[in-house]
Amino acid sequence: MTDNKREAAAYIRVSTDEQREFSPESQLDRILSYAESHGYSIKKENIFCDNGISGKSTDKREGFKSMIEKAKNKPTPFKAILVWKFSRFARNREDSILYKSMLRKKYGIRVISVSEDIGDDKMSVLMEAMIEAMDEFYSVNLGEEVKRGMTKRAEKGKFQSRAPFGYRFLKGSLVPFDTEKEYVKLIYSLFLSGKSTEEISEILNKTGVKTSKGNPWTSRSVLYLLKNPVYAGYVVWDNVTCFGVHEPIISENDYKQAQSIIKNQKKRKITKKQTDCCFLKFLRCSSCGGKFCICGDGKNLQCINYIKHKCTVSHSVSINRLKKSLTMIFAEIFSGAEKINLQETENLPVNIAKLQKQLQLKYERVKKAYEEGIYPIEELKKASLEIKNFDSNFAKKNFEKKNIVPSSADLFNIIFNSEKLKPNQKEAILSAIIDKIVFYRPEEKLAVFFKEDIYNNLFPKGPPY
């Protein structure tokens, strides 16, 4: 008997607000009962379920997506998909029509509602469309009713989201949590006294206290707390702001002062000189290898991973200090033969034309290697892009008018300490010369890693140490 049964799949879905009435167990019981009486066999591996997921979209329905992928297998693993109601399959008519048509026309698989038996005749198509339209109307109407109800609660001053740091829900009401509320007061006190959000996050992390989600504090999480009006006694929902029924942790005056400071910080413009940091993309942390970002008032750099608490060593450093150090390093390297142990000063790449020539030679080598099948096309594109990014016109624009070709030492002084070149021009020159710059914070040292061609030209006999 069992061998003559047709293979079918079972799809079960229940959203959070339907847990009791339409539990997964009750849906599966109905489906198995239908399968038994209608000649279908359902294997355990062909039972798919999405628990606590809305049917408005298929994006987050992993069980549904797995079922559709399996249906595409050859030979077709089942001839029907059994659901308790069509609304379990989808509450969006576009999704429903798309997937049902694909399953039926391409794979010969029907979607059957075990509680809405509409038959197989032409009228069944109309009936199924009407049922799906009603399901979609119910879903849209339910969403509107829920939103309306939550707006009403907000208007009555009731908080209806996850309890933020400093609060807990007690019998449905938001109440201050003794230990955490003191930290909220501390955060506002530090901020109003002039501490930055980054400094406050470091202070909090030293105490061992975590955010409401159990994570270390960051500048962003401190800022989020400072901007949250719940601490001043307000609730916000869908652009509705009302005074809440919960107990505030800070005064309304302190909250307004904090917002004023935040607003002024946003308006504060960082000058071009402060943000002219052409070496930023090359700078790396010696502890984790991470990149750097501009922080604070635009005068300092810090390891991005340290800010995100993924690196344990602070690498905070002044931009101006790095500029001076890099200028000295490059001036020494390019200053003369006796200092870098080169036999002839002429071997130094003393102008832009020579740098361009080196890039061109590199491109020719990569091209030849590509034609011989040694390098992939990506390497050829990369070499070509290096030449393209190198702005060959800047020398004409800035120096040929005066019939001056700058020495390499002068060139790097211009790159790091002058506004004669645009930031993208400076970056293009550095891209042709160096791979990365590593900053060693505890030792207060910088290590410059040159491009292979440049390195071999500078140090044909090896490094000068």
Give me the tens of pLDDT residue by residue for the chain, a chain 465 residues long. Answer: 445 789 999 999 887 555 445 688 888 998 999 999 999 999 999 999 988 665 455 667 888 889 999 998 989 899 999 998 877 787 666 667 677 777 877 888 988 888 876 666 555 656 666 655 655 555 555 556 656 666 676 666 677 678 899 999 887 788 899 889 999 999 999 999 999 888 999 899 999 999 988 889 988 899 999 999 999 988 887 667 788 888 899 999 999 999 999 888 765 544 434 456 888 889 999 999 999 988 766 788 889 888 877 888 888 888 888 888 888 887 777 654 333 332 332 333 344 555 666 667 777 776 766 665 556 666 767 777 766 665 444 444 443 433 333 445 555 666 666 666 777 777 777 887 888 999 998 788 888 888 877 777 766 666 655
Q: What share of the chain is helix, strand, coil (3-state, %, to 5)?
A: 50, 15, 35
Would residue 67 count as lying in a domain?
yes
Residues 6+ apart with CB under 8 A from 13: 49, 50, 51, 53, 55, 61, 63, 64, 83, 88, 89
Q: Report which secondary-structure segment, H or E, holds 198.
A: helix 197-207
The span from the CA of 325 to the CA of 234, in Å, is 51
**Token pair for 216:** 């270390």
Q: Report which secondary-structure segment, H or E, holds 226.
A: helix 219-227
Q: Report which secondary-structure segment, H or E, holds 134.
A: helix 122-155
Looking at the structure, tell me whether residues 104 and 217 fall in a common domain.
Answer: no
Would residue 96 count as lying in a domain?
yes
Q: What angle do CA 411, 416, 422 make, to 5 degrees?
A: 85
Looking at the structure, tell me whether residues 123 and 179 fall in a common domain.
Answer: no
| Packed helices 178-192 and 197-207: angle between N→C axes, nearest 10 degrees | 150
Q: Which pLDDT does position 439 carry in this prediction?
A: 93
Per-residue pLDDT tens over the stretch 235-279: 887 667 788 888 899 999 999 999 999 888 765 544 434 456 888
Residue positions counted in the chain: 465
Residue owning tokens 């101006």: 320
The span from the CA of 446 to the CA of 437, in Å, is 7
Q: Which pLDDT does position 189 carry in this prediction?
A: 94
Looking at the structure, tell me whether residues 117 and 174 fall in a common domain.
Answer: no
Domain count, the chain: 3
The span from the CA of 137 to the CA of 327, in Å, is 69
Looking at the structure, tell me whether residues 79 and 19 fall in a common domain.
Answer: yes
Q: Which pLDDT does position 395 carry in this prediction?
A: 43
Q: What is the DSSP string of 284-339?
A: EETTT--BEEEETTTTEEEEHHHHTTS-SS---EEHHHHHHHHHHHHHHHTT-HHH
Could you tell me the CATH number of the domain that includes residue 107? 3.40.50.1390
Q: Strand, helix or coil at 75? A: coil
Query: Taken in order 325, 329, 334, 339, is the CA torsion positive or negative?
Result: positive
Beta bridge partners of 82: 10, 112
| CB-CB neighbours of 206 under 10 Å | 9
Would residue 286 count as lying in a domain?
no
Looking at the structure, tell me whether residues 211 and 327 fall in a common domain.
Answer: no
Domain that holds residue 190: 167-267
Looking at the structure, tell me whether residues 323 and 454 fall in a common domain.
Answer: yes
Would residue 277 count as lying in a domain?
no
Would residue 301 count as lying in a domain?
no
Looking at the structure, tell me whether residues 131 and 262 fall in a common domain.
Answer: no
CA atoms within 13 A on the CB side of 332: 9
Q: Report which secondary-structure segment, H or E, holds 133.
A: helix 122-155
Looking at the structure, tell me whether residues 76 and 24 fall in a common domain.
Answer: yes
Cα–Cα distance list, 76 to 8, 86, 407 (Å): 10, 22, 73
Asked if 318 contacts 274 with a C-beta cutoff of 8 angstroms, the reply is: no
Looking at the structure, tell me whether residues 226 and 334 fall in a common domain.
Answer: no
Residues 6+ apart with CB under 8 A from 318: 299, 300, 301
The span from the CA of 461 to the CA of 455, in Å, is 10
Residue owning tokens 């229940």: 14
Looking at the structure, tell me whether residues 422 and 346 fall in a common domain.
Answer: yes
Within its chain, how far is the Cα of 418 from the centroid?
A: 35
Say if residue 75 is preceded by a cis peptide, omega within 30 of 0. Answer: yes
The span from the CA of 144 to the CA of 136, in Å, is 12
